[in-house]
Amino acid sequence: MTSNPKVAVVTGSSSGIGQEISLTLARNSFLTYATMRNLNKKENIKSVAEKENLPVKIVMLDVTDDRSVKDAVKSITAEANRIDVLVNNAGYGLVGAFEDLAMEEIKSQYETNLFGVIRVTQAIIPVMRKQKSGTIINISSGVVTLGGQLGGSAYVSTKFAVEGLSNSIAYELEPFGIKVVLVEPGLIRTNMYNNSVVASKSQDPNSPYTEVMQKLAASFEKMFQGGSSPDVVAKVVLKAATSENPSPKYLAGKDIESLKEAKRNMSDEEFYRMMKQNLMK
């Protein structure tokens, strides 16, 4: 650790990509505030941090709660006196055919994946603006590059919204020395799919989409098993966090890089057919 380490805040750090990002930043001399909604899930990251003597501090932060966000940011800035990097990672997937999604299920998805990003970012911007520097890294999804995903209308639309938000605020924040970066992971070997929320109506055997959703579930299970390790995303985040001039967008994972190249070389109709065939194997 340096005497004046850079400070990083990572949301959704209890497992998966967020946990790996927090540990990777800490291993590279960032004083890292690994935040999570449920502190009962802190033991894994705490154990690794203690074993490796890493500068990780675990803080409760629920991105869906205004007071929780404000209290966490206030606590962090009071202690560290600055925030150099914010990684908006917290999120989950809502799975189900669009017709089967209840409005409350869609609202909950947006509350975490979009409004959570907005809450935390708005709370931290004044800190970065005052210090005239900072990097905001928003974890999006490779499905934005691909254009969509069967059974993922709510999830995918939140990620499109995050990308539009990021691209827009980049213009406003650049004069204050604040950079905004998007990271689009491909399929990553985490529990994300198993931890996804399946729309209630999609679990009804009488749903007209039952057969297609069952095929999709079987396909996704195989695809996620062959996905990239979470450290692939963490390394990309580290690159963005340590670069003086990071790219506005990074892909993370060989699968999403290959699919982007395929999309570039195909017509929209050809790419649609290919994706449909791959998802419905």
**Catalytic positions, please?**
155
> Which helix (H) or strand (E) covers residue 56, if one does?
strand 56-60
Instruction: Please answer whether residues 212 and 150 qualify as being in contact, where contact means their C-beta atoms are separated by less than 8 angstroms.
Output: yes
DSSP 8-state code for residue 33:
E
Question: How many angstroms separate the CA atoms of 32 and 25, rounded?
Answer: 7
Question: How many angstroms separate the CA atoms of 66 and 138, rounded?
Answer: 19
Tokens 């202690």, residue located: 79
State the DSSP string of 100-141.
Answer: G--HHHHHHHHHHHTHHHHHHHHHHHHHHHHHT-EEEEEE--
Instruction: Please answer whether residues 10 and 230 qualify as being in contact, where contact means their C-beta atoms are separated by less than 8 angstroms.
Output: no
CA distance to 130, 145, 181, per residue, from 171 (Å): 17, 21, 12
